[in-house]
Amino acid sequence: MVEQYHNYVNGSWTDAETGESFETEDPAAPAEIVAEYQDSGVKDAGEAVKAAADAQDEWADTPAPERGAILRATATILTDRKDELTKLLTREEGKTHAEAGGEVQRAIDIFYYYAEKTRDLGGSVKSASGPRTNLYTKNEPVGVVSLITPWNYPIAIPAWKLAPALATGNTVVLNPASVAPGVALEIFDALDEAGLPDGVANLVTGPGSTVGDAIINHDDVDAVSFTGSGEVGHMVYDQATDDGKRVQTELGGKNPTVVTDSADVEEAAEIVANGAFGVTGQACTACSRAIVDSEIYDEFVESVVAQAESIEIGPGDEYDMGPQVTESELEGTLEYIDVASNEGATLETGGGRPEGERFGDGYYVEPTVFSDVDNDYRIAQEEVFGPVLAVIEVDGFEDGLETANDISYGLSASIVTDDHTEAERFVREVEAGVAKVNDKTTGLELHVPFGGFKRSSSETWREQGDAGIDFYTIEKTVYDGF
């Protein structure tokens, strides 16, 4: 029996006005349908925004700790359902069971975190220049917020947008990516059970080109938070800012790990492989460029190839690396592999679809390593979004840092070195929103800001931690003469 999901609008589960629906498939076994969703239209989006606008004042006036209590209850409900959410995420997106479970736990932790932050929301007290005046600031919600989220972290990213928005008194409309929306809808089921008032949070499934566009451009929307591709994100930014809306976009990456001649080669190869091949390379922070000193280049290539070849591919409930999420994503990865070979890069391992009974018609691709890559090759400049690593040879630290920065993206970057001076200079000079030392490019703490430089972000507002609260609030200065 295929699970049937509905939109969540004004506290009710509703069918799309279009009367249409769409299905999602298991990327490990595409013939298996996972769930059915509403293929919504502009009218459905408008109803959701209206519900959010009607509920905004009352939600903003709700004491912040009371809002926090609902977020806390939501986290508890999600905790009770962690196993079933993990299975759903694996079936719909393709992550391994361990990766999916980690992502569900992150969403739970985010709701707990912002539930506690509601106790500390407020402003600051300042000294007035004159007598009999209390001078202070207070933080108020932005208003109605449109949230547009991608498929690659289908529960974590909705959580880290929803939780701070609701904690600070905003009402929201979420349009999740159609490839894997199930776990986002399960968040709303938990919010509903936790007692969230009608209209405060709304979810409408359907194409971003229709539903997403409608909730971005609606006159009652005050702010937009978007995570997705650079091409779409720049259009979203232009549309929203033309209407005077507050906008936050987090986009792609082409993330480097610089490996210096002082690094432990085996450790470096493990760090790079974990960053490149984890979640099947389908992370905006995935390591796609290993920039390696010539003194250890050959040894590193041999070691990282061994790491890649040790990964067991198969369905996410049993193996180390699952499939890509859709056939089109798989085709895109295979196309880039062909491009890299034609440009002159050397294919060291992988490069195709694995063969064997367990793979069936699943969207699997082998972990792939290219050596002899020039940094101006397309494989080194364009986001692949698959388990493909380009290894680039450089002559010393200076050359490595310059190569790391010679890119239009700037999301995450790391260095593997035993030299403190190199590490400190890398952190200071690398052009990336996240800089790591002796660690993989992936993996983020929820209580610190996240965002990129250059084409990886609008460079307006960061997400997560206190920065997440900043985006969803406006500061008012008050002169009180009583």
Over residues 50-66, the pLDDT tens digits come to 999 999 999 999 999 99
**The pLDDT value given to residue 282:** 98
Q: What is the CATH number of the domain that holds 93?
A: 3.40.605.10
Q: Are residues 20 and 157 in the same domain?
A: yes
Whether 443 maps to a domain, the answer reads: no
pLDDT in tens, 426-459: 999 999 999 999 999 999 999 999 999 999 999 9
Same domain, 179 and 229: yes
284 is catalytic: yes
Helices of type H across 62-81: 64-80
pLDDT value of residue 316: 87
Task: State whether 416 and 290 are in the same domain.
Answer: yes
Residue 9 inside a domain? The answer is yes
Strand order across the 29-38 sheet: 3-4, 29-38, 21-26
**Of 53, 163, 284, 430, which residue is the catalytic one?**
284
Specify whether 38 is located in the same domain as 154. yes
Cross-strand bridge partners of residue 469: none
Q: Is the pLDDT of residue 295 over 90?
A: yes
C-beta separation of 120 from 221 below 8 A? no
Mean pLDDT of 5-27: 97
Residue 100's pLDDT is what? 98
323-352 tens-digit pLDDT: 999 999 999 999 999 999 999 999 999 999
| pLDDT number for residue 241 | 92
pLDDT at 5 over 80: yes
Per the model's pLDDT, the better-predicted residue between 139 and 482 turns out to be 139
Answer yes or no: is 316 within a domain.
Answer: yes
**Can you read off the two tokens belonging to residue 215?**
């909730």
Mean pLDDT across 104-126: 95
Residue count (the chain):
482
Domain total in the chain: 2
Which of the four pLDDT bands, split at 50, 70 and 90, describes residue 130? confident
Q: Residue 445: inside a domain, yes or no? A: no
pLDDT at residue 51, rounded to an integer? 98
Instruction: Give the pLDDT band (50/70/90) at residue 482.
Output: confident
Report whether 77 contacts 107 (CB < 8 A): no
CA dist 136 and 120 (Å) reads 16
Number of neighbouring beta carbons within 10 Å of residue 50? 18
pLDDT band at residue 122 under the 50/70/90 scheme: confident
Helices (H), 253-326: 265-277, 297-309
| Res 1: pLDDT | 73
> Helix or strand or coil: residue 392?
strand
Mean pLDDT of all residues in 352-370? 96
**Tell me, what's the pLDDT at 212?**
95
The stretch 255-269 carries a mean pLDDT of 98
One domain for residues 32 and 156? yes
pLDDT digits (tens, 9 = 90+) for 188-219: 999 999 999 999 999 999 999 999 999 999 99
Q: What CATH number is attached to the domain comprising 286?
A: 3.40.309.10
Burial class for 168, CB neighbours closer than 10 Å (0-12, 13-18, 19+): buried
What gap in Å lies between CA 319 and CA 264, rounded to an integer?
Answer: 28
Residue 262 is assigned to a structural domain of this protein: yes
Would you give the distance in Å from CA 171 to the centre of its chain?
21
- Residue-by-residue DSSP string for 2-26: -EE--EEETTEEE--TT--EEEEEE
Average pLDDT over residues 137-161: 97
225 and 334 assigned to the same domain: no
Print the domain residue range for 465. 3-251+458-480
- The answer to whether 400 and 343 are in contact (CB under 8 A) is no
